[in-house]
C-alpha cells in the first residue's frame, strides 16, 4: 500500500512548482506547496491540499486533493483575508516505479468559486521521488546542547513511512 512522502514537481507551464505529497497507509493524501499563487485576477493564498488516493479499476494510482483558496495576506477591507474565495481540486493519475521510488504522471486542476462555478482549469505533468531518511553528515564538533527536533512523536506517526505505491 502507498505510504510515505514524495517530493514532486508539477509542470503546467514553463515554471515547475515544487510540492510535497504524503500518502498514508489508510488512503489519505496531504500536499504542501508554495502558498501564494499568482492568477489572472491577482495573487491568492492556498491552504495545503487534503484528499485521498486509491487504485482505480484499471490498477492506475489516482489521487484527489482539495485546497481552500483565500485572498492573499495583502487583502483589502472589501476582501478580508479570512474569506474563502473557493476551492482548487487537483486530480492526479500516476505511475509508480518501486525500484527507484519515483512517480510520474499527469494532473488536472479546477478552481471553483464559492457557488461551485469553475473559474479556471489547467493540465500538466508531475514527477517526483520518494524522500528517504538520511544519516546526518558530520560537520565538525559542536559545543551546544543536543536539540530535540521532533519532541514526543506518537508511535502512530511512524506508519507514514513505508513502501512506495504499487498496484
Whichever domain contains 33, its CATH number is 2.40.128
Say if 143 falls within a structural domain.
Answer: no
Say if 39 falls within a structural domain.
Answer: yes
Q: Are strands 61-71 and 42-46 parallel, antiparallel or unpaired?
A: antiparallel
Within the chain, strands assigned E span 4-11, 17-23, 28-32, 36-39, 42-46, 49-55, 61-71, 86-97, 102-113, 118-130
Task: Give me the residue label for grid cell 489521487.
Answer: 63
Q: CA-CA distance, 143 to 72, in Å (whole number)?
A: 42
Say if 117 falls within a structural domain.
Answer: yes
Number of structural domains the chain divides into: 1
Say if 34 falls within a structural domain.
Answer: yes
Q: What sections of 18-135 are H helices per DSSP?
A: none
- Residue pair 66/57 in contact by the 8 Å Cβ criterion: no
Say if 134 falls within a structural domain.
Answer: no
Say if 95 falls within a structural domain.
Answer: yes
Q: If pLDDT is split at 50, 70 and 90, which confidence band does 160 have?
A: very low
pLDDT at 17: 78
4-17 mean pLDDT: 58
- pLDDT tens-place string over residues 23-56: 898 999 999 988 888 777 778 889 999 999 998 8
Q: Are strands 102-113 and 118-130 parallel, antiparallel or unpaired?
A: antiparallel
Say if 45 falls within a structural domain.
Answer: yes
The residue segments making up the domain with residue 75 are: 4-127
pTM of the model: 0.70
Say if 151 falls within a structural domain.
Answer: no
pLDDT at 152: 41
| Closest by Cα among 60, 2, 51 to 29 | 51
121-143 mean pLDDT: 82
pLDDT at 158: 31
CB burial class (10 A; 0-12, 13-18, 19+) of residue 160? Answer: middle
- pLDDT tens-place string over residues 87-113: 999 999 998 888 888 889 999 999 999
Indicate whether 80 pLDDT > 70: no
Share of residues in the chain with pLDDT > 70 (%):
69
Amino acid at each position: 500500500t502507498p505510504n510515505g512522502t514524495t517530493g514532486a514537481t508539477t509542470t503546467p507551464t514553463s515554471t515547475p512548482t515544487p510540492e510535497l505529497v504524503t500518502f498514508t497507509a489508510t488512503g489519505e493524501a496531504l500536499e504542501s506547496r508554495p502558498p501564494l499563487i499568482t492568477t489572472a485576477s491577482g495573487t491568492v493564498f492556498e491552504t495545503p491540499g487534503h484528499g485521498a488516493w486509491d487504485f482505480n479499476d484499471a490498477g492506475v494510482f489516482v489521487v484527489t486533493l482539495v485546497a481552500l483558496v483565500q485572498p492573499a495576506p495583502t487583502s483589502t477591507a472589501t476582501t478580508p483575508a479570512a474569506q474563502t474565495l473557493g476551492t482548487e481540486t487537483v486530480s492526479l493519475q500516476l505511475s509508480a516505479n518501486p525500484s527507484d521510488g519515483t512517480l510520474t504522471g499527469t494532473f488536472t486542476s479546477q478552481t471553483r468559486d464559492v457557488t461551485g462555478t469553475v473559474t479556471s482549469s489547467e493540465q500538466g505533468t508531475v514527477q517526483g521521488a520518494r524522500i528517504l531518511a538520511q544519516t546526518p553528515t558530520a560537520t565538525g564538533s559542536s559545543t551546544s546542547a543536543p536539540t530535540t527536533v521532533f519532541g514526543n512523536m506518537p508511535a502512530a506517526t511512524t506508519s507514514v513511512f513505508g513502501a512506495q505505491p504499487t498496484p
